[in-house]
Amino acid sequence: MNYLKLAEEICNGTKQIDKKQCLAILESEADWIEIFSAAAYIRQYFKQNRMHLNILLNAKSGICREDCGYCAQSSSNQADTEIYGLLPEAVIFKKALIANKNHASTFCIATSGTRPNQKELKHLGNIVKKIKSQLKLEICLSLGTVTPAQIAYLKDCGVDRINHNLNTPEANYQRITTTHSYQDRKQTLAYLKNQGVNSCSGFICGLGETNQELVELAFDLKNQQPFSVPVNFLIPIKGTKLEEQWTLNPLKCLKILMMMRFIFPNTELRASAGRERHLKAIQPLAFLIIDSIFLGNYLTAEGAPESQDIELLKMLALDYVK
């Protein structure tokens, strides 16, 4: 298989990658370097040397009734995590100011729980209006299974997109959580599309999925037409059901990102939680095929120091200034 030729055809719009070719990427051996080069070619064609910076704020933490086996915020897990209600508007706005100063193009606000209540929704709407009126930041909210009415309200407030990940393949879903279904998540994405709001939607690798299931998930995600795709790598947190699950290795993680670049050639592709721990020394290679990262910490896990990522971007001559 000539992946460089396929990359050229993808760039000129005459072909798309198929599932068989994607599975071959995940199972590649000595030829992975050629495939990596082709993925980098696609990135350069559509994204040049740009890297989007995102900063994430966990604006409400813990006490979640969902039983997601990977999440420290689930009340069904025994993880030691911070518990607090929705942060005051002044605190959230201060975090947005810091994100803006650090060259982030997108400020992401996440809240724990199934979905916000009416009081929380109004609170979030007010802060979105304030940020949008004073700062050049795009706003992405991660709020769970939001309803059509909630989406409409947030759209009117100026939100740019809403995050809602598919998380894991449908065949693997009941192993991870039982309080909601894969179809529930797809329904939320359908609500977003119907309301004309862009979605940020990806998944978490390392939850016990097979390569074939991961390919199926990626193509299902493609059908949702997300604006941006975050690829997370499981961080096994002590006290969660998956605390002992460590099935990934650096090269496997890189191959997943390579596959996603072929599937989403012109979509914002983000290496998200766990990239530092799982990609390890080959993380600079990942930066050459993705075009988006989170700076700083994630929801309940530490990320790399912001200065360390900025230094890496400078070393690779990637432009991160919005």
Q: Is residue 121 part of a domain?
A: yes
Q: Is residue 41 part of a domain?
A: no
Q: pTM for the whole thing?
A: 0.97
pLDDT in tens, 209-262: 999 999 999 999 999 999 999 999 999 999 999 999 999 999 999 999 999 999
Quick check: 125 and 145 in contact, CB under 8 A? no
State the CATH number of the domain containing residue 269. 3.20.20.70
Q: Is residue 10 part of a domain?
A: no
pLDDT in tens, 257-316: 999 999 999 999 999 999 999 999 999 999 999 999 999 999 888 899 999 999 999 999
Q: Is residue 28 part of a domain?
A: no
Quick check: 153 and 194 in contact, CB under 8 A? no
Checking if the pLDDT of 85 tops 90, the result is yes
Q: Is residue 120 part of a domain?
A: yes
pLDDT in tens, 184-193: 999 999 999 9
**H or E, element range at 271:** strand 268-271
Q: Is residue 44 part of a domain?
A: no
Q: Is residue 3 part of a domain?
A: no
pLDDT of residue 275: 97
Q: How many domains does the chain have?
A: 1
Looking at this protein, which amino acid is placed at residue 157?
A: C
Q: For residue 181, give Cα distances in angstroms to 100, 174, 178, 203, 236.
A: 36, 8, 7, 14, 22
DSSP 163-222: E---BS-GGGHHHH-SSS-HHHHHHHHHHHHHHT-EEE--EEE-SS--HHHHHHHHHHHH
Q: Is residue 6 part of a domain?
A: no
Residues spanned by the domain of 236: 50-315
Report the mean per-residue pLDDT for the chain. Answer: 96
